[in-house]
């Protein structure tokens, strides 16, 4: 486990407001004798809260190596007899019987960006008993047009010729990136009050679409939109990362820049259309800015335009294009053929030794290739 991973999990535990909200919500939602599924369990904290609430058992699922730590921590907290652990992606996990409650903390900055929708939609289809409950159960998302120096700077940096180099090609990427910022009210100026753009159940993994028209109240530079969520944790508990809320949890907000910063004045109108595709991992934001009389500027952005694509990788997305053969694909076929239940990784590497120097530049690369195949298949 890397230092950054450990730091990430420390952050999840240290956010007292969010931790308290999950604890209280699970106390409300979990009934005695419930079986609870903790998706993306990390250190297993939510499972411990479910046990506190009376759960008969908890199934903690996490793909990462942290599952070993979670197992140890379950024992250290006295729950080893009630919590079982599965090392798998949430969408790969199998359970013997449908569960009563699924809980997950992978909300990200604007709900779609850390996987909770995909996990919960899959859980609803495969893992949750009829009438099963989700924590959180529903979301609302909000956006506001803002002046945001940090976000603007992240776009314009690429046009500034750092080190006397022309790196402007990256500007379009920056202007089409859903960026994460830990912001405080001092970092942002809202040009108009935030508006609810969409509301949806937490197992909704289809299109999330919404629109809003903002009437500028505060003259300033329009750099883009800041977005935040409100999660309905239980009938009486909500959490939010609203940068202007005194009750916000310790969570970043997402910033959606516009390519061209525009000065706007009171009464000007900013229209926004947001389109989120959780399954594709693509977010689009478009609209226009009407300033004074007759000056209307359109903008059209998407994370698709902001993704790193090359001619080599495009083929992996285009499903109706022939998949070109390659030496590495041929080797993959051989590796799969050699895995017969008795050969070791060393046996497989040795059998493919003649590929070194052609398909693979070194024995280390071949070994890593075989190890990756085994890890993926395992």
Q: State the residues that interact with other proteins by CB under 8 A.
A: 207, 275, 277, 279-280, 282, 284, 286, 302, 304-305, 309-311, 314-315, 317-321
CA atoms 327, 341, 65, 3: torsion sign = negative
In sign, the C-alpha dihedral spanning 200, 202, 203, 204 is positive
If the CB atoms of residues 27 and 282 are measured against other proteins, the closer one turns out to be 282
Name the minimum Å distance from CB 262 to other proteins.
Answer: 21
DSSP per-residue string spanning 307-368: S---HHHHTTT-TTSPPPP-HHHHHHHHHHHH-SSS--HHHHHHHTGGGBTTTBSSHHHHHH
Burial of 195 (0-12, 13-18, 19+ CB in 10 A): middle
Nearest distance, CB of residue 79 and other proteins, angstroms: 41
Least Cβ distance, residue 283 to other proteins (angstroms): 10
φ and ψ at residue 283, rounded to 5 degrees: -120, 135
- Give the nearer residue to other proteins in terms of CB position, either 9 or 209: 209
Nearest CB to other proteins, comparing residues 252 and 304: 304
Closer of 132 and 224 to other proteins (Cβ):
224
CB of 233 to other proteins, least distance (A): 30
- Write phi, then psi, for 76 (nearest 5 degrees): -60, -25
> Which tokens go with 55?
């759960």
Q: Which is nearer to other proteins, 218 or 275 (CB)?
A: 275
**What is the nearest approach in angstroms of other proteins to the Cβ of residue 173?**
10
Strand 253-264 and strand 220-234: the pairing is: antiparallel
Of the pair 77, 211, the CB lying nearest other proteins is at 211
| Closest separation in Å from C-beta 356 to other proteins | 31
Measured in whole angstroms, how far is the alpha carbon of residue 281 from the centre of its chain?
9
Counting beta carbons within 10 angstroms of the beta carbon of residue 95, is it exposed (0 to 12), middle (13 to 18) or buried (19 or more)? middle
């Amino acid at each position: 486990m890397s230092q950054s991973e450990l730091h990430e999990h420390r952050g999840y535990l240290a956010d007292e407001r969010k931790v308290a909200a999950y604890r209280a919500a699970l106390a409300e939602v979990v009934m005695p004798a419930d079986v609870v599924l903790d998706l993306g369990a990390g250190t297993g904290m939510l499972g411990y809260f479910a046990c506190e609430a009376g759960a008969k058992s908890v199934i903690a699922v996490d793909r990462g190596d942290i599952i070993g730590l979670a197992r140890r921590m379950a024992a250290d907290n006295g729950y080893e007899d009630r919590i079982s652990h599965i090392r798998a992606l949430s969408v790969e996990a199998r359970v013997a019987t449908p569960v009563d409650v699924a809980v997950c903390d992978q909300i990200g900055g604007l709900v779609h960006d850390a996987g909770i929708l995909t996990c919960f939609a899959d859980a609803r289809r495969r893992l949750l008993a009829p009438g099963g409950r989700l924590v959180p159960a529903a979301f609302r998302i909000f956006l506001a047009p803002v002046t945001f120096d940090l976000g603007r700077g992240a776009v314009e940096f690429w046009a500034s010729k750092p080190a006397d180099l022309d790196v402007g090609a990256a500007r379009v990427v920056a202007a089409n990136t859903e960026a994460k910022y830990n912001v405080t009210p001092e970092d942002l100026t809202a040009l108009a009050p935030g508006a609810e753009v969409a509301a949806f159940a937490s197992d909704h993994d289809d299109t999330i679409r919404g629109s809003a028209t903002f009437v500028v109240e505060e003259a300033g530079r329009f750099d883009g939109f800041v977005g935040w969520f409100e999660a309905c944790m239980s009938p009486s508990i909500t959490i939010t990362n609203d940068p202007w809320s005194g009750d916000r949890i310790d969570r970043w907000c997402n910033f959606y820049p516009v390519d061209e910063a525009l000065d706007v004045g009171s009464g000007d109108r900013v229209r926004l259309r947001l389109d989120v595709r959780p399954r594709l991992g693509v977010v689009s934001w478009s609209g226009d800015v009407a300033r004074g009389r007759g000056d209307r500027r359109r903008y059209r952005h998407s994370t698709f335009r902001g993704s790193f694509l090359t001619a080599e990788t495009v083929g992996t997305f285009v499903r109706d294009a022939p998949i070109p053969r390659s030496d590495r694909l041929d080797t993959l076929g051989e590796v799969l053929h050699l895995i017969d239940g008795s050969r070791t990784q060393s046996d497989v590497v040795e059998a493919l030794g003649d590929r070194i120097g052609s398909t693979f530049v070194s024995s280390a690369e071949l070994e890593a290739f075989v190890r990756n195949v085994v890890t993926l298949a395992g």
